[in-house]
Amino acid sequence: MADLISPCCGDEYTDNENGVSYCCEAIISEEGICYECKEHSEPEIALVCMKCGELFDEAIEDYEYAEQQHDSYLEDRMDAERDEK
């Protein structure tokens, strides 16, 4: 069975329950105040990569991430070969 991982780094992720705000993507205080704009805010509804902190809507399966990385590698090789000519 495939594991779900973040699409950005292929790493573990968590929900954004105590994370960044909708308004400024800044940290929210325990009282629900955004530290950036000082307005009341709620956490943005998203998932957060544990490695890079990027927000995303849906996790992907580990084999999908591996396929994306392989496709990217092949594309880079083709670009390099084209540049050599």
For 38-73, give the DSSP string: --B--B-SSEEETTT--EES--EEHHHHHHHHHHHH
pLDDT of residue 18: 64
In the chain, which residues have pLDDT < 50? 1
Render the burial of 5-29: b for 16+ CB within 10 Å, e for the rest.
Answer: bbbbebeebeebeebbbebeeeebe
The pLDDT value recorded for residue 77 is 94
pTM for the whole structure: 0.64
pLDDT of amino acid 22: 65
Supply the range of the domain harboring residue 63.
Answer: 4-84
Number of separate domains in the chain = 1
Give the per-residue pLDDT at 60.
Answer: 95
